[in-house]
C-alpha cells in the first residue's frame, strides 16, 4: 500500500486527503471490521475506537501518528509476519553476524536506538566537533576486527567483555594488567588489545559510562570539592573525611557522591540523525490547537519564550525537568536506608519518547543511609554549576543538519512529591505555614497536637453558598479573599532580607 502521503505535512493538500480516504476504505474492507476501528491520529495513537467519520476528522485535524509505521492493528499483519520471517532467515544464513550487539549497547548508553556514522560529511557541511568525532570513533571501533582475520570479536566488544569478566570474578587490577600483556604476546601482530587496565577503562569513559566521585562530609555539611578538595576534615563540624579503617592501604571516605555529567549526554542526543530530528518536535511537528498534549503547549513554556526570545529562537535548545526522591536499594523495607537519585527529563522530545526510561538521565546519586533533607542543597552543587554553564551554551554537532551550533539548556520544572518539594525548594512543608500557595497567609489550627489547615473556602467565588454555611464547616462564615501566590521577584526580595544564609544547615 502507498504510504507516501504520510510525509505530506499540509493536511489540506488533496494528496493527503486522498491518502486518508484510501486508508479508511482499505481498513474498513478488512474481514472482521464492523463500524469502529482504532483511531491512528496523533492524539488517540490507536488507544480509542471511533467511527469512520470521526477517524477521518481526527486524521485531517491532528495528523497521522508518526511512529505507527506498520499498520498491524488495521490489517497489515501478513506483511509484518513475512518481513520478520525474511529477516530471521537472513540472520540464520549469515554466519558472520556477531552474537553480541555492541553497537546497540553504544546506542543504549547514549539514550537512543538508531544512529548513522556521519564522520564523512558531504561537501558544504561542517566537520563534527571533538565530542562527536570521539563518539563516531567508538562506532568505528565496534566494527574493527580485534586482529587481522578475526570475525567474531571486534576491538570494542573484546574490551567490554573482558572488563565485564573482571567485575564478575573480582579480578584485581594487577591480574588484569598481566592478562592483557599475555594477550598482547600471543595474539597476532597488529592486534588492538590494550596494554593495561587503565587503557581499557578509558574506552568506557568514552562510552559515557564513567562518572565522577566526590567525597562528602558524613554530616552533610560540605562536599570535598573545589576549595575543600584537599581538606582532611570538615571545616564546619570538624569530623574526619575518612573512616577509621583502611581498605587495602587506601583511605575510604564516609560518603561519596556520584556525579554523572549532563553535557556529553545531551550532546550525544544530537549525534544521531533520528534523535536530532526528534529534538525539534516541540516546534516543528507539534500542533498548537489549544489542546494540552505536550509541555510546549503550557502557559509556562510560552511565557518562558516571551521572556527569553534569544533562547526560544533556537529550537534545538534543550528544556529539562528534574525529579528526585528517595528509595530503598536493598529490597528490605525493614532496613532504614535511603538513596536519592536526581533524574533529568528532556522535554524537546515527542510525548511518546520524553517519558521513556531510555531518555532519562541520572545526573546525581546521593548516598545514604539517611535522607539528605534540607542538606540536599550541598549535593546539588555540581549539577547546578553544570546547568549554569549549559545556560551560557556549549558547542554541539547536529547530525541532522551536519552543522555545529551553540546548544543552551534551561531547567523548566521540578517533579516530586510534597515532602521532596520541601527539600528541593527550601520551603517548609511542615508546620503552621506549610502551603506555598498561601505562604504567610496559611490558616492552621492545632487539634490534639495535629495541625489542621483551614481557609480553603477563601478560594470559592464570593457568592458561593458554602461560604455562608456554618454547619458543614467550622461554624463561621468565610469572608476572606484568596491569597495571591508569590511572584518570582517577591520571593527574591524575601530571600534578600534573610542576609547571609548557609545553604543546607
pLDDT score recorded for residue 100 = 57
Domain containing 421 equals 260-425
Residues 288 and 366 in one domain: yes
pLDDT along the chain (505 residues), means of 10: 82 88 88 84 84 90 84 65 41 42 54 44 55 68 78 80 82 88 84 83 69 90 91 90 74 91 88 86 84 89 92 92 87 75 93 86 90 89 94 88 90 89 82 83 83 85 88 82 85 80 65
Of 78, 105, 133, the domain-final residue: 78
Buried b (16+ CB within 10 A) or exposed e, 454-488: ebebbeeeeeeeebeeeeeeeeeebeeeebeeeee
Q: What's the Cα-to-Cα distance from 17 to each of 9, 21, 142, 152, 154, rounded to whole Å?
A: 11, 6, 45, 51, 50
pLDDT score recorded for residue 86 = 42
Cut 0.85: pTM above it: no
Q: How far apart are alpha carbons 43 and 59 in whole angstroms?
A: 9
pLDDT score recorded for residue 85 = 42
pLDDT score recorded for residue 255 = 92
Query: What DSSP string runs through 368-429?
Result: -SS--GGGHHHHTHHHHHHHHHHHH-EEEEETTTTEEEEE-EEEEEEE--HHHHHHHH----
Residues 348 and 446 in one domain: no
The answer to whether 100 touches 159, Cβ cutoff 8 Å, is: no
Dig out the grid coordinates for 469 from the structure: 454555611
Residues 382 and 485 in one domain: no
Residue 265 forms part of a structural domain:
yes
Residues 288 and 415 in one domain: yes
Of 78, 101, 126, the domain-final residue: 78
Dig out the grid coordinates for 66 from the structure: 508518526
Of 51, 78, 105, the domain-final residue: 78
Residues 409 and 452 in one domain: no
pLDDT score recorded for residue 336 = 80
Residues 278 and 392 in one domain: yes
The answer to whether 203 touches 210, Cβ cutoff 8 Å, is: no
Q: What is the tally of structural domains in the chain?
A: 3
Residues 331 and 454 in one domain: no
Q: How far apart are alpha carbons 499 and 370 in whole angstroms?
A: 29
pLDDT score recorded for residue 96 = 37
pLDDT score recorded for residue 305 = 92
Dig out the grid coordinates for 60 from the structure: 485531517
Buried b (16+ CB within 10 A) or exposed e, 294-328: bbbbeeebeeeeeeeeebbeeebbbbbbbbbbbee
Residues 283 and 413 in one domain: yes
pLDDT score recorded for residue 134 = 66
Amino acid at each position: 500500500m502507498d504510504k507516501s502521503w504520510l510525509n505530506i505535512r499540509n493536511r489540506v493538500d488533496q494528496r493527503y486527503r486522498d491518502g486518508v480516504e484510501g486508508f479508511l476504505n482499505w481498513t474498513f474492507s478488512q474481514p472482521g471490521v464492523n463500524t469502529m476501528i482504532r483511531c491512528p491520529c496523533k492524539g488517540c495513537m490507536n488507544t480509542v475506537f471511533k467511527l469512520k467519520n470521526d477517524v477521518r476528522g481526527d486524521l485531517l485535524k491532528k495528523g497521522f501518528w508518526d511512529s505507527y509505521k506498520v499498520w498491524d492493528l488495521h490489517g497489515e499483519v501478513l506483511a509484518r509476519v513475512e518481513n520478520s520471517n525474511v529477516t530471521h532467515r537472513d540472520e540464520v544464513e549469515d554466519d558472520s553476524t556477531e552474537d553480541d550487539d555492541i553497537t546497540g549497547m553504544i546506542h543504549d548508553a547514549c539514550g537512543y536506538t538508531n544512529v548513522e556514522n556521519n564522520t564523512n560529511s558531504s561537501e558544504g557541511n561542517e566537520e563534527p566537533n571533538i565530542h562527536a568525532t570521539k563518539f563516531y570513533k567508538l562506532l568505528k571501533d565496534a566494527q574493527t576486527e580485534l586482529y587481522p582475520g578475526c570475525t567474531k570479536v571486534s576491538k570494542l566488544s573484546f574490551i567490554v567483555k573482558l572488563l565485564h569478566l573482571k567485575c564478575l570474578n573480582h579480578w584485581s587490577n594487577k591480574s588484569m594488567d598481566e592478562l592483557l600483556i599475555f594477550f598482547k604476546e600471543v595474539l597476532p601482530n597488529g592486534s588492538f588489545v590494550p596494554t593495561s587496565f587503565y587503557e581499557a577503562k578509558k574506552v568506557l569513559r568514552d562510552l559515557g559510562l564513567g562518572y565522577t566521585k566526590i567525597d562528602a562530609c558524613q554530616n552533610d555539611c560540605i562536599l570535598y570539592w573545589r576549595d575543600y578538595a584537599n581538606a582532611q576534615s570538615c571545616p564546619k563540624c570538624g569530623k574526619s573525611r575518612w573512616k577509621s579503617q583502611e581498605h587495602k592501604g587506601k583511605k575510604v571516605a564516609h560518603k561519596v557522591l556520584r556525579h554523572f555529567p549532563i553535557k556529553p549526554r545531551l550532546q550525544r542526543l544530537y549525534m544521531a540523525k533520528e534523535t536530532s530530528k526528534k529534538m525539534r518536535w516541540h516546534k516543528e511537528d507539534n500542533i498548537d490547537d489549544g489542546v494540552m498534549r505536550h509541555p510546549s503547549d503550557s502557559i509556562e513554556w510560552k511565557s518562558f519564550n516571551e521572556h527569553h526570545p534569544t533562547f526560544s529562537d533556537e529550537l534545538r535548545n534543550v528544556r529539562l525537568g528534574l525529579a528526585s526522591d528517595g528509595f530503598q536499594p536493598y529490597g528490605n523495607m525493614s532496613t532504614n536506608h535511603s538513596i536519592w537519585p536526581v533524574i533529568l527529563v528532556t522535554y524537546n522530545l515527542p510525548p511518546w519518547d520524553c517519558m521513556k526510561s531510555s531518555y532519562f538521565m541520572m545526573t546525581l546519586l546521593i548516598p545514604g543511609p539517611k535522607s539528605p533533607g534540607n542538606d540536599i542543597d550541598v549535593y546539588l552543587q555540581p549539577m547546578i554549576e553544570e546547568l549554569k554553564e549549559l545556560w551560557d551554551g556549549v558547542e554541539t554537532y547536529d547530525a541532522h543538519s551536519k552543522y555545529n551550533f551553540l546548544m543552551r539548556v534551561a531547567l523548566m520544572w521540578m517533579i516530586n512529591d510534597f515532602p521532596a518539594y520541601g527539600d528541593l525548594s527550601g520551603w517548609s512543608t511542615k508546620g503552621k505555614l506549610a502551603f506555598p500557595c498561601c505562604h504567610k497567609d496559611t490558616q492552621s489550627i492545632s487539634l490534639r497536637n495535629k495541625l489542621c489547615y483551614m481557609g480553603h473556602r477563601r478560594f470559592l467565588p464570593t457568592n458561593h453558598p458554602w461560604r455562608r454555611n456554618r454547619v458543614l464547616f467550622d461554624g463561621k462564615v468565610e469572608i476572606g479573599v484568596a491569597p495571591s501566590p508569590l511572584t518570582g521577584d517577591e520571593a527574591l526580595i524575601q530571600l534578600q532580607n534573610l542576609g547571609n544564609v548557609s545553604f543546607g544547615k
